[in-house]
Structure 1
Amino acid sequence: MADHTLAHRSQNATRTETVHLPPATPPTNHGRTLAAWTTTWTVVAGGVIAGLGVAFTMMWLFWVGMAVIAGGLVLGKVLQLLGHGQGGAATLARAQRRGGH
């Protein structure tokens, strides 16, 4: 009878796992870019405005909040295209000035 206990399996590995590494080192900023922060905070502000519009039953305030959210998404994409996003030229230059982080 074979021993299939957890202790036996942890001490006697039956197969090896293949490790797949990425072809290059990923950026070290963990998404802390101007484009990411701008997008995040404008969407949060728009959500708060829209939520207040719902809470106070003001449809116009709700739609203002929704417009702020849409504007934040567009602004974040524009900043990303201008190089302020993950792996962008402005982000990489900023990382070099700060010592790689």
Structure 2
Amino acid sequence: MPQTPEPQTYTLPPASPFANHGRTKAAWVLMWGVCLGFLLAGLGLMMSNQVVVIVGVVVTVGSVVLSVIMRGMGMGQPAPAAVQGDERDWYSA
């Protein structure tokens, strides 16, 4: 008995997704900065040293701010194209 195909309930995207998979300079700065900041803050908590904890928090917040600035300078993932009407595609929702 032949099977009938299901109707197409999706639309293909207008363009392919970015090839960098989010591996940008801004993302690396954010990842390494947050890792270093959390490591410092954790060590400061274990040593009961408030100065090291504050340095860890400053490094964490500073890496977030620096990453946002780098993305604004074009070193991050480009923003998706504006969607007009109800033409949302299945991977950018």
Specify the TM-score bucket, using the shorter chain as the normaliser. Answer: 0.7 to 0.9
The equivalent of 2:35 in structure 1 is 44
Deviation at 1:18, TM superposition (A): 1.1
Give ranges in structure 2 of 5+ residues lacking alignment.
80-93
- Which one has more relative contact order, counting CA pairs under 8 Å at least 6 apart? 2
Work out the CA distance in 2 between the residues paired with 1:84 and 1:21.
Answer: 28
Q: In 1, Cα distance between the equivalents of 2:37 and 2:67?
A: 14
Query: Aligned equivalents of 2:56 and 2:17: distance in 1?
Result: 35
1:64 aligns with 2:60: no
> 1:4 matched to which residue of 2?
none
Structure 1 stretch displaced more, 13-22 or 64-73: 13-22
Greater Rg by CA: 1
Q: CA RMSD in A?
A: 2.2
Q: CA deviation at 1:87?
A: 2.5
Identity of aligned residues (%): 39
Using the size of structure 2 for normalisation, the TM-score is 0.73
Q: Secondary structure at the match of 1:83?
A: coil
* Alpha-carbon distance in 2 for matches of 1:44, 1:62: 14
SS of aligned partner of 2:15: coil
